[in-house]
Amino acid sequence: MEIHPLLRPIAETRDSSDPFLVFDVLFPPNTIHVSNEPPRKSWSKGRKDPATFPRLKLLRLVTRFTPWVIQVTTDSAAGITVSDVINAIHDHFRVNASEDDDWNRTDPGTQSEILMAYKWNRSTEMGAPGGIMPDALLRGDFMMERTMFAGLKLADKELCEKRMDVADFPATFELLLHTR
């Protein structure tokens, strides 16, 4: 299975002339730009392209940092687009964190780090989302400083087992995130 070049791991694209998406998952998708274009130019080229080849109507995204599974679906015969994937990622990290399933399952040391991220994410510091963030604790706050999209790669067997209790699930990708 092939992934669209804009969704490939940045580590791979940095070694080539391929552009990559510059995207902080806490900010709206209209703030994304492509690495080889001016930062003030919003990303447009490739948004409607298929995210994968062959085209899929369902794919899952998992990370090594959180227990959540992001499900991306479409009813379109054209399959899931690059934009569908990016919007699903952004929407996922804007969901309110639950006290029972998210907060209480986190160790106290990590909770302290999450609270520091929560405060920074709502600050007026340069680069902070600030006023676009609601008062509620979001899943994005659990990412702490790891909020920069760094691409997707096929998830390995170990990660699938850890996140989904399944040894191998087709069309499951690892969401790679770097620190901002």
Contact between 148 and 70 under an 8 Å Cβ cutoff? The reply is no
The count of domains in the chain is 1
| CA 37 to chain CA centroid, nearest Å | 21
Q: Quick one: CA dihedral 142, 93, 44, 76, positive or negative?
A: positive
Q: List 72's β-bridge partners, or say none.
A: 59
127 domain residue, yes or no: no
Which residue, chain included where needed, has tokens 């703030």? 31
170 domain residue, yes or no: yes
Q: Which phi and psi angles does 118 have, rounded to 5°?
A: -55, -50
pTM of the model: 0.91
128 domain residue, yes or no: no
Q: Report residue 65 as tokens.
A: 């940092």
Which residue, chain included where needed, has tokens 């499900």? 71
pLDDT at 145 > cutoff 60: yes
Closest-CA residue to 143 (of 93, 102, 98): 93
Rounded to whole angstroms, how far apart are CA atoms 165 and 167?
Answer: 7
100 domain residue, yes or no: no
pLDDT at 142 > cutoff 60: yes
For residue 62, CA distances in Å to 10, 38, 153, 157, 165 come to: 17, 30, 10, 12, 12
Q: What is the mean pLDDT of residues 82-95?
A: 97
34 domain residue, yes or no: yes
Q: What range does the domain containing 43 cover?
A: 2-95+143-178
Closest-CA residue to 70 (of 140, 6, 157, 132): 140
Residue-wise pLDDT tens digits, 51-69: 999 999 999 999 988 888 9
